[in-house]
Amino acid sequence: DTEVTQTPKHLVMGMTNKKSLKCEQHMGHRAMYWYKQKAKKPPELMFVYSYEKLSINESVPSRFSPECPNSSLLNLHLHALQPEDSALYLCASSQDLGGLPDTQYFGPGTRLTVL
């Protein structure tokens, strides 16, 4: 089973709201990722977690706060977002092979609109 689930599918929030995106996988993967994808653009890496520890932060603004409570779950907490943060947020997971790339499996994404 190569399934990554994400909730919610759609989210509309105001600039003063606090919301969270959730991602879950049960493939035993120990690497999890957040990507941001603007319309008609490729996905851009935001964060990487390896064994529940944040290993890569691609200079993402602090209004995005990731959290990995356990090996199956990944959250992205959102606060004081801007309209330009509206995008498709994709979660992915893979084996963590100690630096050797492995296939990343993606969830369906959360379409976020910031008003």
Partner 1 sequence: AQKVTQAQTEISVVEKEDVTLDCVYETRDTTYYLFWYKQPPSGELVFLIRRNSFDEQNEISGRYSWNFQKSTSSFNFTITASQVVDSAVYFCALSVINSGGGADGLTFGKGTHLIIQP
Contacting residues toward partner 1, per CB under 8 A: 2, 31, 33, 35, 41-43, 45, 48, 50, 55-56, 58, 88, 90, 92, 94, 96-109, 111
Q: Which residue's CB is nearer to partner 1, number 16 or number 100?
A: 100
Q: Closest distance between partner 1 and the C-beta of residue 80, in Å? A: 25
Q: Which residue's CB is nearer to partner 1, number 104 or number 114?
A: 104
Distance set, CA 102 to CA 7, 58, 86, 92 (Å): 24, 20, 29, 12
Per-position DSSP letters for 50-76, written without gaps between them: ETTEEEEE-S--TTEEEEEEETTEEEE
Q: Which residue's CB is nearer to partner 1, number 81 or number 96?
A: 96
**Distance from chain centroid for Cα 42:** 15
Whether 86 contacts 113, CB under 8 Å: yes
Q: Closest distance between partner 1 and the C-beta of residue 16, in Å? A: 27
